[in-house]
Structure 1
Amino acid sequence: MPDEPVENISGGTDGGSEARFATGDPETRAEAVVDALGDIYWQKAYGGRDAFPCLVRTILSQNTSDVASQPAFDALIERYGGEGDLAATLAAADRDVVAEVIQPAGLYNQKSRVIQEAAEAILADFGDAAAFDSFVREGDPEAVRERLLELRGVGPKTADCVLLFSGGRGGVFPVDTHVHRIARRMGLAPPDADHEGVRAALEAAVPTEKCGFGHTAMIQFGREYCSARNPSCLDGPEACPLADRCDRVGVDSGAGTVVDPADSDG
């Protein structure tokens, strides 16, 4: 199977580490789908990234692509990520300059404020980025998630990505637009489920150790096969490697039309 891309998927550079998982028949449809994605793409274990840079990287990825957000993150680290505490450095930085540095990521005025306010809150609560990192890795996962969600501009997907890519927490299946669309289109979650509903459905049905690579591989699958407007199955079931596992909710191959699963008649 191919290696995980270097610049990738909810986490920027440095993908997960190779991992092996117990073989056996999947217990749920969702697990079967994740196993199939693992055969197509990769099976990785995640964790170990420094928590504050991971948080910053995920904030920059909001409402944009890796193509736009990764250069912004690289430029931010190049300017502010030298010696010293990154959170302290960014908290003290000139916001207009921060916004200019991250401009490629879009919404740069809003994101610069979110990043700096997060840095200030982390310093106030934990003292420095190292203590915040320890909290993310060692604290109760629900407490960590709750604290992250208290940060202005940090939603469930951002919080879950920090738990996964920094904390290495099993059982965390972050839901971005790709995962939200695909899980409902395939019938793994109710067609009208919101992002939290999809997360709950997947985390309940996918084994703890498989959620991380299920998240990253499902995003790749969305990019290559299961796009919002032109999924491969419009060209026939043979065009999609997961066609036999998919309910194709909202997709009418005969008419060549696609609607959001929530707007489908069934």
Structure 2
Amino acid sequence: MGDPEPERNISGGETGGGEEHAFDPDTAGTRAEAVVDALGGLYWQKSYGGRDGFECLVRTILSQNTSDKASQPAHDALADRYDEDGDLVAALADADQQELAETISAAGLYNQKSERIIAIAERVREEYGGEAGFDTFVKDGEPREVRDRLLAFNGVGPKTADCVLLFAGGRGGVFPVDTHVHRITRRMGLAPTDADHEEVREHLEAAVPAEKCGFGHTAMIQFGREYCSARKPACLDDPDACPLADHCDQVGVYPASGEVVDPAEASD
């Protein structure tokens, strides 16, 4: 989500110091928890919750099918143009679609995203009275109901809804699944090779303690960028190059031939 690192590492990792947290692979109850605990030795644990619900929703929509590098300028431009008076819902509900599309063009799919953002802003204003009412619902509503309501918005899928629950609502037990999490979880053997995003989420949320799910999401994304990429994971050339090698089944990764395939296409 483009956040800066927190001031102190509360995951207990050697690289960050900070206070010790319950991230010990040796005492983990499941393989998935052991992986998250191992990630706790590599990355900083973020703090979760506290973001404005509607702003978080808009930011996440902008990030769909694009990188943080592309979506961040789009978000900044949107905020500069539409959030001057502190009423982003009203400004976007009344926005000219073409003008909004031009404003967020850096994010890609800007015509589609602008239409969806305006429609969502209109619904938020009508159903929740604006930003404050929507924010209260996201933070205090029953999580399943919040998720269902978010999924009812056109353009909001499971990952977007879960990110709002995590980063705005601060809800435990929420493990958003993006392309990195989907790939890594199946490659490691933590979920069936043919599992879709929702099935992966169900496996992870059942196997990882609620208080570790948020960290697992952000850390697994970072791990995917640095070590376990789609086309050239670190283990392909050097098994010792991956800090999580002991936890991984390498499904779909064939160092002998240099081939990497989607886990669902892996041979037995």
**What is the match of residue 18 of structure 2?**
none
CA deviation after TM superposition for structure 1 residue 84, in Å: 3.2
| Mapped pair 1:173 → 2:175 | yes
| Amino acid corresponding to residue 156 of structure 1 in structure 2 | P
CA deviation after TM superposition for structure 1 residue 12, in Å: 3.2
How many residues end up aligned between the 2 structures?
256
Separation in 2, partners of 1:16, 1:57: 20
Aligned CA-pair RMSD = 1.3
4+ residue stretches of structure 1 with deviation over 2 A?
Answer: 11-24
Task: Verify the 8 A CA contact 2:6 2:44 in the aligned structure 1.
Answer: no
**What is the match of residue 3 of structure 2?**
13
CA deviation after TM superposition for structure 1 residue 197, in Å: 0.4
Task: Verify the 8 A CA contact 1:149 1:159 in the aligned structure 2.
Answer: yes
Task: Verify the 8 A CA contact 1:99 1:111 in the aligned structure 2.
Answer: yes
CA deviation after TM superposition for structure 1 residue 81, in Å: 1.1
Task: Verify the 8 A CA contact 2:176 2:217 in the aligned structure 1.
Answer: yes
Tell me the alpha carbon deviations over residues 85-112 of structure 1, each in whole angstroms, 9 at most, x when there is no partner.
1011111011101000100000000000
**What is the match of residue 246 of structure 2?**
244
| Amino acid corresponding to residue 12 of structure 1 in structure 2 | G
**What is the match of residue 61 of structure 1?**
63
CA deviation after TM superposition for structure 1 residue 27, in Å: 0.4
TM-score norm. by structure 2 comes to: 0.93
The unaligned stretches of length 5 or more in structure 1 are 1-10
**What is the match of residue 16 of structure 2?**
none
Structure with larger RCO (C-alpha < 8 A, sep 6+): 1
User: What are the equivalent positions in structure 2 for 1:62-81 lying under 5 Å apart?
Assistant: 62-81=64-83
| Amino acid corresponding to residue 22 of structure 1 in structure 2 | A
Task: Verify the 8 A CA contact 1:163 1:169 in the aligned structure 2.
Answer: yes
CA deviation after TM superposition for structure 1 residue 17, in Å: 7.7
**What is the match of residue 22 of structure 1?**
22
Question: Secondary structure at the residue paired with 2:191?
Answer: coil
Tell me the alpha carbon deviations over residues 58-106 of structure 1, each in whole angstroms, 9 at most, x when there is no partner.
0000000001001100110011111231011111011101000100000
CA deviation after TM superposition for structure 1 residue 22, in Å: 3.0
| Amino acid corresponding to residue 216 of structure 1 in structure 2 | T
Give the direction of change, closer, same or farther, for the CA distance of 1:15–1:91 in structure 2 (3 Å limit). farther
Separation in 1, partners of 2:143, 2:250: 34
Separation in 2, partners of 1:132, 1:16: 27
| Amino acid corresponding to residue 240 of structure 1 in structure 2 | C
CA deviation after TM superposition for structure 1 residue 13, in Å: 3.4
**What is the match of residue 3 of structure 1?**
none
TM-score norm. by structure 1 comes to: 0.93
User: What are the equivalent positions in structure 2 for 1:130-169 lying under 5 Å apart?
Assistant: 130-169=132-171
User: What are the equivalent positions in structure 2 for 1:220-259 lying under 5 Å apart?
Assistant: 220-259=222-261
**What is the match of residue 90 of structure 1?**
92
State percent identity of aligned pairs: 68
**What is the match of residue 219 of structure 2?**
217
User: What are the equivalent positions in structure 2 for 1:121-136 lying under 5 Å apart?
Assistant: 121-136=123-138
Separation in 1, partners of 2:23, 2:86: 45
**What is the match of residue 117 of structure 2?**
115
Tell me the alpha carbon deviations over residues 209-237 of structure 1, each in whole angstroms, 9 at most, x when there is no partner.
00001100100110111111111111121
| Mapped pair 1:188 → 2:178 | no
Give the stretch that moved more between structures: 147-156 or 18-27.
Answer: 18-27
Question: Secondary structure at the residue paired with 1:202?
Answer: helix
Give the stretch that moved more between structures: 48-57 or 233-242.
Answer: 233-242
Separation in 2, partners of 1:81, 1:31: 40
Separation in 1, partners of 2:5, 2:235: 29
Tell me the alpha carbon deviations over residues 113-134 of structure 1, each in whole angstroms, 9 at most, x when there is no partner.
1111110111111011110000
Task: Verify the 8 A CA contact 1:17 1:45 in the aligned structure 2.
Answer: no
| Amino acid corresponding to residue 3 of structure 2 in structure 1 | T
Separation in 2, partners of 1:227, 1:146: 32
Separation in 1, partners of 2:106, 2:185: 30
| Amino acid corresponding to residue 150 of structure 1 in structure 2 | A
CA deviation after TM superposition for structure 1 residue 143, in Å: 0.3
CA deviation after TM superposition for structure 1 residue 16, in Å: 6.1
The unaligned stretches of length 5 or more in structure 2 are 12-20
